[in-house]
Structure 1
Amino acid sequence: MSSRPRWRFWEKERPPEPDPPEAPPTRRPSRWQRPPLADPAQRDKLDQLRRRREMIAHDLERAESARQPDNPWQERIALLDASLATIGADLAAVDHLPPEPGFSLPATPITGIEATGGEPAAITFQIGPERFVFEEETDWDQRGGPVVRGELRRRAGEVARLVPADIPIDGRDALIAHLTDSVTVFATDLRDRALEGEPLPVQPTLAGLARPDPDFGGWRDWRGASATAARRAWRRQQLHAESIRLLTERETELEDRAKWAERLPVARRRLADLDEQIANVEQ
C-alpha cells in the first residue's frame, strides 16, 4: 500500500459568499415626483402651470430683492455715483486749468492783398517775405451748377517761416498750428468781403493773426476766436453730456427698483394661486 498522501483538491474549503447588498432606503416621493397623470390633457395643463410657477417664482425673488438694502440696483447706482463724482472732479479741473502760454508776434504788415469773389475765388497776400495764395474749391450739384462756396485751399506760403526765431522751442509747434488756422481764417474773411462788396481790412499785421488770449492762454485768430477756449468748451460739453447720460441711467435704475418692489404683493398672490391650481390638478 502506497504511503504517498492523497490530495483532494475538490475538497478545499470555499470562501464564504458575501452578504447581499442592502436595498437602498425607499425615498418618499416629493411633490413634483408624483406619478404622472393618466389624462394627457391634465398632464399638459400641469406642465404649463409648473412653467408659469417658475416664472412667477423668479419675479417674486426679484421683487423681494428690490426691497432689500443691498440689491443689484443699489450696486449699479453706487457705480454710477462714483462715475458722476469723477466727472464732477474733471469738470472742476477743466474750470481751473491755468492759461496756456502765449507769445506776442511782431506787427509785420500784411501787404499785396488781392481778393476776387469769382468762381472759384482766389486770395493772395504777403506777410514779410512769404507770399500766400489761396484758391476756392467749388462744390457742384448734379446739374452742373454751384451749390455752396467751397473751402479755401492754401496753394502757396509756408506758415512756419512766419514764426520768429526767438520763440521758445516748446511753444513753436503750438504757434505754427494756430497760425495755420488763423491764416486760413484771414483768407476766408478776405473772400467773404470780396463777395459782399465790403472794403478790405486796413493795415492788417501778423500780430493780428495771433493775439495772446488773456483768459485761456494761447492765441486768438483773426476773427477773435480762441482755440484754447474752444477745446475747453468742447471738453466741458463732453463731460456734461456724459453726466446727463449717467444721471438718466441712474434714474432708470431707481424707477426699475421701485417698480419691482411694488410687484411684491402681487407676485406672492400669483404664486399662491398657482400652487393651489397645481395642487388641484395633482389630486
Structure 2
Amino acid sequence: MNINKVMVIGAGQMGSGIAQVFAMSGYQVILHDLKPEFAEKGLSVIEKNLIRQTSKGKMTEEDRDKALSRLELSSDLQNAQHADLVIEAAIENMDIKSKLFSELDKIAPEHAILATNTSSLPITEIAAATTRPEKVIGMHFMNPVPVMKLVEIIRGLATADDVYTLIHETALSLKKVPVEVNDFPGFVSNRILMPMINEAVYTLYEGVASKEAIDDVMKLGMNHPMGPLTLADFIGLDTCLYIMETLHEGFGDDKYRPCPLLRKYVKAGWLGKKTGRGFYNYDEQA
C-alpha cells in the first residue's frame, strides 16, 4: 500500500505542525477540525511558518507554494473516506479518542491506517474501539513538530508488522527519526519527562528553591535547553497533570502521584503560556 493522502484530525499546535511536515514532504493533506475557523487558524499558522522559512533562505518560494497547494481544509469527518492515513491529534482524553476512532473506522477506506498522536494513552485501548485494530498505531510527534526530529512509533497489541513498517518508512520520508516503543503508559518520552517535571514542581512546592533557581540548575548544571518549570508552562500544565494521572493510574505506583501544587494551578486556570500564566507570568513579559 502507498500513502498518498493524509488526513490530520485537529488543527491546533500539534496537528498543524504534523500537516505542515507532510505537505512539505510531498503528501496531499486534509487538515480537519470541528469548525472551519479552527482549520483556517491552523492553516494560517502553517503559512506563517513557511513564509518565515522562505525569508530565512531555508526553502524556496516555489517549494513553499507547492507545500501550501497540497493542503485542503475540512470540518466534515466524512472526508476521511479519501485518506490512506488518518492521524488524530485531538485532545488527550480516552473517551474522546475512542469515540473518534470508532467513527473513523466506519468512514475511512478499508486499507486506511488509523494513527494517533497521543502522548500517553494506550494504543491497544484506542484500537479496541475499531474493527481494524491491526491497522491502528501510535505516531507520537514531538513539539514543535517541524523542528523536532523524533517520532515515537507505538504498536498496539494487534498492530500488524506491515503497518508498523509502512509507518516507519513514512516517518523517514518526513526526515524524522522513528523509534519503536512498546505500548506502556507514557511510552518512553513522557514516562521519563513528566516525573522529572513533577519532581521539579514538588521541589518548588516544598520550598527547596525558587522557580528560577530550579530552572537554572537544570539548564546550567544538566545542560537542558530550558528548565522543567518553563517547559511545563510551554507544554501546558493541564496536559502535564493529565499525563501524570495517566501514569499514576496505569502503573498504580505513588512515584507518579501528581504534585498538589500542579493540581492547584490547573484548578486556578493557570495552565502556562497558553493562558498567560503558569509558573511564570507571561502577561508581564508581553
Normalising by structure 2, report the TM-score.
0.21
Larger radius of gyration: 1
Higher RCO structure (Cα 8 Å, ≥6 apart): 1
Normalising by structure 1, report the TM-score.
0.21
